[in-house]
A and B are shown apart, each in its own frame.
Chain A
Amino acid sequence: MRHYLSNIYLGVYTALVGMRITFKQLLQPSVTHQYPYDRSFEQKKNIREIPKGYRGKLHNRIEDCIGCKKCEMICPVDCITIATQKLPKGERLWDSMNVVHLKDRTEIVGNIEGAEKPAPNTAVTIQTRDNRTVAVASEEIANVVERKPVIFYLDQFDIDMSLCMYCGLCTEVCPTECLIMFDNLSDGIEYSTFDRTDLIYEFAKPEMYEQPTDESTEAEAAD
């Protein structure tokens, strides 16, 4: 009987101890966001910021893709499909662009004028694709992805994002770093659709080759 009563007392007492903690919590600001409706966190960056390097939706800057199929080979779920045609030997379409990684973890896509490996203590001029010129000091540069010749026509470059598991292996192996994952909210995360087929992204742009040649040989599937 005594045990029974003391148990009741302890039950109430320890519950009150817990209540004190919850009560203190009650007076603190809420940490919950009603996400799709309440978007105020986008302004208040400090609360919920998508960090740099987040693995979101995939994107390919197709002009820089050299068609090496490394991403297709590494993908564990085979959601990348690439079809290429090789150019005649010795020919190339253009070079892929440099990707200049700065030390503050931003990157600039564009061609470095002059030497690709800038000498120390020089100003480096970078010509971006939309014809802007960006000047940075060579001390700010962390590393530069070199230009690579494009020797394949890309007939097909599809990524099925409904299969993708966001492992990021494909972006790591890409030699020109043209395959990227968006790390912002609107491009990287909020892309749900009503139809699953809308999630197959077709990146190949045949119109970027003005005169496609039919004589070119079919590239061997590097598998």
Chain B
Amino acid sequence: MAAPQPESKFIELKPFSDEMIVSMGPQHPSTHGVLRLELKLDGEIVRDAIPHIGYLHRCFEKHSENLNYQQIIPFTDRMDYIAAMNMNWGFCLAVEELLATDEKKFSGVPERGEYLRVLIGELNRIGSHLLSFGTYGMDLGAFTPFLYAFRDREKILLLFEKICGARLTYNYIRVGGVSRDTPPGFIDEVKEFIDYFEPQIDKYNALLTANRIFIERTAKVAVMDTEMAINYGVTGPNLRGAGLQWDLRRDEPYSIYDRFDFDVPVGKDIPELGVVAGDCWNRYKVRMDEMKQSIQIIRQILESGLPNGPIQAEMKAVRPPKGEIFSRSEAPRGELGFYIVSDGTPKPVRLKAKSPCFTALSALQELSRGLMVADIIAIIGSIDIVMGEVDR
């Protein structure tokens, strides 16, 4: 059950107490962006932790009201810059759903476009989870996994660079399809990468996941049970780490995810390791397992082969009909939602992004009460937030 929130936004200190207030951040190396935590400490024990966000606020939502739909896509890149393809995709899905309410305007994304989207989206999921794996290890003092993860993520970025021309801000998925077709040899390179990368995950598991020191730091730390996760609206790997099998790709398939066969890994109690569902270790482990599932999806695409045909639906201008839509998709960090109100002009009247990292961060206060200061780092790494998306 969620604890009642304190009245004040700031921590109040009782006079003559042993407690003190420490400001962690705004630029702590382990805080994945610019985040400030206000900690109320009793010695080493955290009595309260309030995240102060907004350092990366760029007014994405308000700015979008002055841009047309095509121009908004590069700004979605900058929300979750680790998984920019999935951000593009989430936004385009919302606009497409809005367009589809008027059948004359939009007849669906062509097959090849859909396959490319899934291929790229899953590659980006691997890249994003790799970064989270690497930085989590580094947060907890293991430097080597970070280097390995970045080496392998680089291979994914190179593939993206080939297909869309940029390494981080892709602007690749467009309303109605994708912007460029595959360059020659791209599919072979994806296959080469997948073949290289699959055994690599087991190495990482031996390197970090099964490391006793790592387990000691993360097992039974900050247990978020299913009820608490749902109460906070936490989604994605954090929710699955708590033990609830919920994945939009499987449960409410969008795009062509219903054609693929994949598992939804969840967190489990493993008594031999001393971990319980919903602790930091399980949240981390779900990401490692999801990389394998993403590889499985990519393998299925490569086996069936990309269908031939156009990559982009033919449409003159993106001008959705009057109406509103809320659409969600499964980004690497959880359910990404876009709420768009349109008045029939090429610009949205209102745009709201529902960020998965924001909800995950909101659970931090309750998760961290009563733990040690060093555990805060373990929690932030395990809920895997990207401040660009929290602040937008």
Contact = CB atoms under 8 A, between A and B. Distances in A.
Interface of A: 7, 10-11, 13-15, 17-18, 21-22, 25, 31, 50-55, 74, 76, 105, 165-169, 172, 181, 183
A7 B71 contact: no
A168 B70 contact: no
B354 interface: no
B165 A55 contact: yes
B213 interface: yes
A166 B144 contact: no
A76 B213 contact: no
A70 B274 CA distance: 61
Given A7-B216, A51-B162, A21 B207 contact: yes
Contacts of A11: 211-213, 216
B210 A14 contact: yes
Contacts of A21: 203, 206-207
Nearest to B214: A14
Contacts of B184: 105
Contacts, number: 77
Interface centre among B154, B179, B180, B213 (most CB of A within 10 A): B213
Contacts of A14: 210-213
Contacts of A105: 183-184
A10 B211 CA distance: 8
Given A11-B212, A18-B207, A51-B161, A169 B71 contact: yes
B207 A169 contact: no
B165 A53 contact: yes
Contact of A167 (B74, B151, B211): B74
A76 B67 contact: yes
* A-B CB proximity, top 5 nearest: A167-B74, A10-B212, A55-B165, A76-B71, A11-B212
Interface string B54-78: 0000000000000100111111000
A74 B216 contact: no
Contacts of A53: 162, 164-165, 180, 183
B382 interface: no
Interface residues of B, number: 32
Contacts of A25: 148
A74 B318 CA distance: 13
Contacts of A183: 165
B208 interface: yes
Contacts of A169: 70-71, 74, 171
B31 interface: no
B102 to A, nearest CB: 24
A17 B71 contact: no
A15 B137 CA distance: 13
A183 B206 CA distance: 40
Contact of A18 (B70, B144, B169): B144
Interface of B: 67, 70-75, 144, 148, 151, 154, 158, 161-162, 164-166, 169, 171, 179-180, 183-184, 203, 206-208, 210-213, 216
Contacts of B166: 54-55, 166, 168
A13 B212 contact: yes
B366 to A, nearest CB: 29
A14 B215 CA distance: 10
B210 A17 contact: yes
A26 to B, nearest CB: 11
A212 B382 CA distance: 65
Given A11-B216, A74-B70, 4 more contacts: A17-B206, A21-B207, A53-B165, A169-B70
A95 B169 CA distance: 35
Contacts of A50: 161
Interface centre among A14, A105, A181 (most CB of B within 10 A): A14
A55 B213 CA distance: 44
Contacts of A165: 74, 169
A114 to B, nearest CB: 29
A31 B162 contact: no
16 contacts: A7-B216, A14-B210, A14-B213, A15-B211, A17-B206, A17-B207, A17-B211, A21-B206, A50-B161, A51-B158, A51-B161, A54-B161, A54-B165, A76-B71, A166-B166, A169-B70
A181 B171 CA distance: 15
B169 A166 contact: yes
B179 A172 contact: yes
B220 to A, nearest CB: 14
Contact of B212 (A7, A22, A52): A7
A51 B163 CA distance: 9
B136 to A, nearest CB: 15
A107 to B, nearest CB: 14
Contacts of A13: 212
A22 B144 contact: yes
B138 to A, nearest CB: 14
A21 B180 CA distance: 39
Nearest to A24: B203
A13 B161 CA distance: 40
A223 B203 CA distance: 56
